[in-house]
Amino acid sequence: MSKLRTPLTGWSLFVAAWLGSFFFATAGTDLQSASLGDTSTWAHGAYLTGDWGGLRTELINEGVTPYVFYTSIVASNAAGGISQTGPKYSQDVNFGLTFDMQKLVDWHGATINLNGIDRLGDTVQTEVGSIYDPVEIYGGQTIFLYNVTLEQKFLNDVGSIKIGRLSPGDDFATSPLYGYYVGNGIDGQIRAVIDDTRFATYPFASWGARLRFDPTPEFNVMTGIFEVSDQIHNPNRHGVNFAINGTDGPIVVQQFGWTPEFDKQPVQTVQTKRSEAKDVVKTPTVQGLPGHYFIGGYWSNSNYSQFGTTEEARISYGFYAHADQMVYRETPGSDVGLTLFGTVTYSPQPNISILPFQLSGGAIYQGLVPGRPKDMSIFGVIYGELSNDYAASVSLASGALPTTEIDLELGYRVQVTDFAYAQPDIQYIVRPGGTGNIPNAVVIGAQFGLTF
């Protein structure tokens, strides 16, 4: 009897999430439209807890910005995989303070960030048997001290350096677009980079520094050096063990970015008055289709375990690239439209890399449903090619040779207000674990977010 009820519970969750989101979309249309310009009321503001009677605005004006972000995922393996399971819950709470040192003590171009993370809950990955986790906020389920950083701008803000406790994933091999996905194959950073080397990422931090230059509005270059350790993912350290051990090594990351705008068009006329003359000067404003492109690579000097042997390798390196481009905008000056993206990674070390070759891509349409200009419709796919050395090391236990896994994702994020969203989501995992002996899986669920 339990075998019948468990999948049905998952389907009930899926239906409830979609119906709930439809209700939010219907009830929240007026709220969302009004929030585009009206921030005078709680419902149209940016925070669930409001302005604290004006205290929040006062703090920000003085240079102190408090923040709390809540994210949760409820997911169920409804069909296929190793076994079916009822809904599982996972949550992530990100909280901290950002200090604008120029406002506080007239320290030009300096920002200090103190950041903590609290995670709890579970994932359905074990029941699915997949390489990629369908739940992006699972990992390090405890409370962590994450960012403790100082960022300093220089050369008239052309350059900046950030130092302290941070991770490469804060700046490298990442895009804001990935955050619209629920599966960890796409969300966060380009996944193979994390799996193939000791590339620390949220919520795990290490000592490091990142140097960035923006010589023109369209071009940027970043260089980072970070501590790597085989204890980086140890949740018992809670991010407060600042020691650098003798077995630790460095990872150097280099990235080059290009952010063009194509097909620029006038979007409005801005009227300004000259101080001396009384005539009005009309300045046309133009806006194009934005794109973001970057290529990067990493090199690490540390001890890396090799598949199928007790000997260790000393060097890890690899390459990655990302491209996203808005290809359609409904009206000039609007954010409503379609953006496409794609990534590729290559790590030529099958002896230590689980995923030496990976492709991912997707489409995000903002405002697809009329009257819902802030909602996001998302589709994504990730293809991971497993290394022969890894496959040989696990083939005996799995009963087959793992080769490739493909994950597809479809979701719709309902932006109920500026501070709340609900996102029903479905993922289809082809060849979970890469072997072909596990049936293709269907993971259904929803993600929710609040800004306090």
Beta bridge mates, 209: 163, 225
Cβ 351 vs Cβ 313: under 8 Å: yes
List, in order of start, the domains of the chain with CATH numbers.
2-451 (2.40.160.180)
Q: Measured between alpha carbons, how far is 392 from 401 in angstroms, rounded to an integer? A: 7
Cβ 255 vs Cβ 248: under 8 Å: no
Beta-strand pair 376-385/404-417: antiparallel
Which one, of 430, 426, 451, lies nearest residue 440 by Cα? 430
- Assign 3-class secondary structure to the chain: CHHHHHHHHHHHHHHHHHHHHHHHHHHHHHHHHHHCCCCCCHHHCCCCCCCHHHHHHHHHHHCEEEEEEEEEEEEEEEECCCCCCCCEEEEEEEEEEEEEHHHHHCCCCEEEEEEEEEEEECCCHHHHCCCCCCCCCCCCCCEEEEEEEEEEEECCCCEEEEEEEECHHHCCCECHHHHHCCCCCCCCECHHHHHHCCCCCCCCCEEEEEEEEEEECCEEEEEEEEEECCCCCCHHHCCCCCCCCCCCEEEEEEEEEECCEEEEEEEEEEEEECCCCCCEEEEEEEEEEEEEEEEEEEEEEEEEECCCCCCEEEEEEEEEEEEEEEEEECCCCCCCEEEEEEEEEECCCCCCCCCCEEEEEEEEEECCCCCCCCCEEEEEEEEEECCHHHHHHHHHHHCCCCCEEEEEEEEEEEEEECCEEEEEEEEEEECHHHCCCCCCEEEEEEEEEEEC
Q: Measured between alpha carbons, how far is 420 from 370 in angstroms, rounded to an integer? A: 19
Which one, of 70, 76, 74, 114, lies nearest residue 94 by Cα? 70
Beta-strand pair 280-305/420-430: unpaired
Supply the pTM of this predicted model.
0.87
Residue 446: how many CB atoms within 10 A of its CB?
25
Cβ 362 vs Cβ 341: under 8 Å: yes
In tens digits, what is the pLDDT along the chain, a chain of 452 residues? 333 333 334 444 444 444 555 455 444 554 554 444 455 678 889 999 999 999 999 999 999 999 999 999 999 999 999 999 889 999 999 999 999 999 999 999 999 999 999 999 999 999 999 999 999 999 989 999 999 999 999 999 999 999 999 999 999 999 999 999 999 999 989 999 999 998 889 999 999 999 999 999 999 999 999 998 887 777 777 778 777 776 788 999 999 999 999 988 887 654 544 444 455 555 567 888 999 999 999 999 988 999 989 999 989 999 999 999 999 999 888 899 999 999 999 999 999 999 999 999 999 999 999 999 999 999 999 999 999 999 999 887 777 899 999 999 999 999 999 999 999 999 999 999 999 999 999 999 999 999 99
Cβ 355 vs Cβ 407: under 8 Å: no
